[in-house]
Amino acid sequence: MIELLWNAPVSEVRMSAMLETLELREGQQVLDVGCGCGEVLIRLTERYQTLGTGIDVSAPHISEARRRLQGRVPASAVQFTHADIRSVPLEHNTFDLVLCLGATHAFATGRDAFRNALQQMIPLVPSGGSLLIADGYLKQPAVPEYRALLGESLPDEMTHAANVSTGQQLGLTPLSAWTSSTAEWDDFEWTYQRIVERKAREQPDDQEQQTRLHHRREWIQAYLKWGRDTLGYGIYLFQKQ
């Protein structure tokens, strides 16, 4: 759903504060894995005059990213590529910052997706380089009914503290960590709900849209019953030694 600024429960105020924390310099290289519609990468380029590379497996999202780019920063400053990151050859020690915001599945899926993503991001930055990664975490163990919806990609032991610790275990220095508030989650979930409802209403004969609506309505009920108290979203800034 490309109407969202970014596919995450993060307010504009919080996103702006996080980007300011990065303290990049003009001309530095930034890679955004799973860049979505490119808004974060574009804003970094606007703020710091960095050089950006965004990669996403979704063609509609890359198309939207290129549309958003127009007139905001020089076209030569940001390159958006439609590709699977696992098929893109990237040189080690190339980027000053690597982002992976809510897209750890781009590297690998499963219970260790967060750790696997970090392990593959680390070689891309030199010593002193930064990694900004975001993923879900569990505030408390998921009840069986909610676990059936979540799947196993977010095990109960994947807490906020455990995510920070994972980076430390991999030799990284944590510089900052943020968690989304309940208000941010509510804004995100209900904005997404309105988008899905509208698309299904506009395309009543589109079976894909109707199926998406069915799953979305199931999800929002689970969010209200369990998710607000169980599912968190954390953003972690690490530095490579």
Burial grade of 208 (CB within 10 A; 0-12, 13-18, 19 or more): exposed
Cα four-point dihedral sign 6, 239, 107, 75: positive
Distance between alpha carbon 81 and the CA centroid of its chain, in Å? 17
Domains contained in the chain, CATH given = 12-181+231-240 (3.40.50.150), 184-223 (no CATH)
User: Residue 130 corresponds to which tokens in the numbers above?
Assistant: 């930064």
DSSP state of 154: S
Q: Residue 109's pLDDT is what?
A: 85
User: Residue 166 corresponds to which tokens in the numbers above?
Assistant: 């994972």
Please name every residue paired with 165 in a beta bridge, in sequence order, or none if there are none.
none
CA distances to 78, 84, 233 from 89, in Å:
18, 11, 30
| Count, residues in the chain | 241
pLDDT in tens, 11-29: 999 999 999 999 999 999 9
Burial grade of 79 (CB within 10 A; 0-12, 13-18, 19 or more): middle
Q: Where does the pLDDT of residue 182 fall: very low under 50, low under 70, confident under 90, or very high at 90 and above?
A: very high
User: Residue 112 corresponds to which tokens in the numbers above?
Assistant: 């260790």
User: Residue 159 corresponds to which tokens in the numbers above?
Assistant: 């807490």
Question: What is the C-alpha to C-alpha distance for residues 155 and 104, in angstroms, rounded to an integer?
Answer: 14
Q: Where does the pLDDT of residue 2 fall: very low under 50, low under 70, confident under 90, or very high at 90 and above?
A: low
Q: Residue 137's pLDDT is what?
A: 97
Average pLDDT along the chain: 96
Residue with tokens 């030694």: 241
pLDDT in tens, 64-73: 999 999 999 9
Q: What mean pLDDT do residues 219-240 have?
A: 98
Strands 97-101 and 29-33: parallel
- Cite the DSSP H helix spans in the chain: 12-21, 39-48, 59-69, 113-121, 144-150, 160-169, 182-202, 207-222, 228-230
pLDDT in tens, 108-137: 888 899 999 999 999 999 999 999 999 999
pLDDT in tens, 32-43: 999 999 999 999
Question: What is the C-alpha to C-alpha distance for residues 170 and 176, in angstroms, rounded to an integer?
Answer: 16
Question: 43: which residues sit within 8 A by CB, 6+ positions away?
Answer: 15, 16, 19
CA atoms within 13 A on the CB side of 222: 17
pLDDT at 86 over 60: yes
Q: Residue 108's pLDDT is what?
A: 86
